[in-house]
Chain A
């Protein structure tokens, strides 16, 4: 009885803010403006512009996820060797920018990258050629990596911290070199962290529209931008919801794939 009472608020929360909105999106996505059932909203993903936007989003978010992973893993390794005190201080420093609003940080990158921006100012002062990253896909990837990197570092760091030093020492005693320790011991044991890091970076990167607007100069249309436009500018909630459903399918597929690998990963732990 007591437990039921305690779960009450969560249940209400889930129904009110997760299930009902989701049901609304499904409803809008599968109906037209008059309310009749249709699949055209969902199928419109195959039109040239939508498909192009989707592929571009998938490409950019995949690339930024890989970059995040490549940057985050070594960092998490370093933090592990630093031990609890120093390591958690560095993690704290790492999370510190996240106390500031995400939009502000992205806008800050805009001022950094602009033609007359801070970076070009420094480059000019050093008589170096200026960079022209702003309003290109490169700037969007930079924005994604910058904004989502902590979401990759933290889960990997957490998993690595939990690995018993004795396991590593045992491997060393048995003659494993550093590379072997990394590939045979640390990597397999940290797969759950890697997997949750990947989902936490890939999903927001796939759906973002703010980063592409601010750093891409709105010249690069991602699927998130298409959906945003249908809601705020096109007044076409049905199409927007239909496309969101397609996006959800992609996210579900990626999560299912990851869950599968995660299970295998944990299987080796056991």
Chain B
């Protein structure tokens, strides 16, 4: 018995040794970790994993990569500072909140030469939450729109505005987004209000509208909109533009007898941006800048775009794309289609809880 244990130990020791030798060979150019570390905090499924390896190989900086699922889940983690991250990728309104609460460091743009690849259009957009463009660098962006099933929706019923989601014809055939801001955005925009309103009366009206809509709604979902719409479960659904590429491919591959089309509603929609920021307490700020610079490199940005399929704000990467993709209006809409659209702003804790309470009322009704 004892002998057998020794055998097992010897074999596992050998195995360990050989793997460490092998991995040692692979990283001969610059040993990962030899130039320090960078702690990255990003959304799940929001990077082509091979990009991380490439970065490690090229710079010798070891990437410690953690994931979050919602902005709201990420915020307390950064605020508490228990784990210190160097580069984080939150959304627009959350960046504003973090900057207001002094959680962000100003980026040294001299260390990010690839910054020039970012289309100035998106830097202009960023100004609504980062007025001087000093804290954030756009990583991906998109719109929110209505997806409809060409077989289940008659030609004359094709939705063109948010208020079409209150049409009795779609009873039990509507998929709404299960998130406070997105759900209220739909209601507020259909009422003609700003999606960034802090006016109690307007929020109340939107709440009542959402309660009125609830019997028509099949389900409130987030990522499942995609699969449910592909499966023909519902006629219309509120969805992020970044899902369109996957959906179009899937519809083609499955040979379905309907297609799914994306509409940006007339009343205007939410334009969102996810951007890289550096927390104020980042221990490896320079490495973080190297990381962000790497992600802004056109070929890397293209690789990431192809993996996550959310539109890239990187001009260099956009130029590298196939013409067919460039002309995909669901992904890269004309500026005229975005006329009345807005970017989310941080509304302050008080208004935030106003929205949250109203949303709970909608859900419990």
Contacts and interface: CB of A to CB of B under 8 A. Distances in A.
Secondary structure of the B side of the interface? helix
Contacts of B232: 116
Given A49-B361, A135-B219, A233-B70, 13 more contacts: A114-B228, A116-B231, A217-B221, A218-B178, A218-B219, A218-B220, A218-B363, A219-B214, A225-B363, A229-B360, A232-B69, A235-B72, A235-B75
Contact of A135 (B76, B218, B357, B361): B218
Interface string B289-302: 00000000000000
Interface in A219-263: 219, 221, 225-226, 229, 231-237
Contacts of A234: 72, 352-353, 356
A115 interface: yes
A217 B360 contact: no
Contacts, number: 66
B214 A116 contact: no
B90 to A, nearest CB: 12
Count chain A CB atoms within 10 A of each CB in B180, B228, B349, B360 and give the residue with the most. Answer: B360
B73 interface: yes
Contact of A217 (B180, B219, B356, B361): B219
Interface residues of B, number: 28
A226 B357 CA distance: 11
Nearest to B360: A49
22 contacts: A48-B364, A49-B361, A50-B360, A53-B364, A114-B228, A114-B233, A135-B218, A217-B219, A217-B220, A217-B221, A218-B178, A218-B219, A219-B214, A219-B219, A225-B363, A233-B72, A233-B73, A233-B179, A234-B72, A234-B353, A234-B356, A235-B72
A105 interface: no
Interface of A: 33, 48-50, 52-53, 114-116, 134-135, 217-219, 221, 225-226, 229, 231-237
A38 B364 CA distance: 25
Contacts of B357: 49
9 tightest A-B contacts by CB? A217-B219, A218-B220, A49-B364, A221-B363, A235-B72, A221-B364, A49-B360, A218-B178, A234-B356
Interface of B: 69-70, 72-73, 75-76, 178-180, 214, 217-221, 228, 231-233, 349, 352-353, 356-357, 360-361, 363-364
Contact of B221 (A48, A218, A233): A218
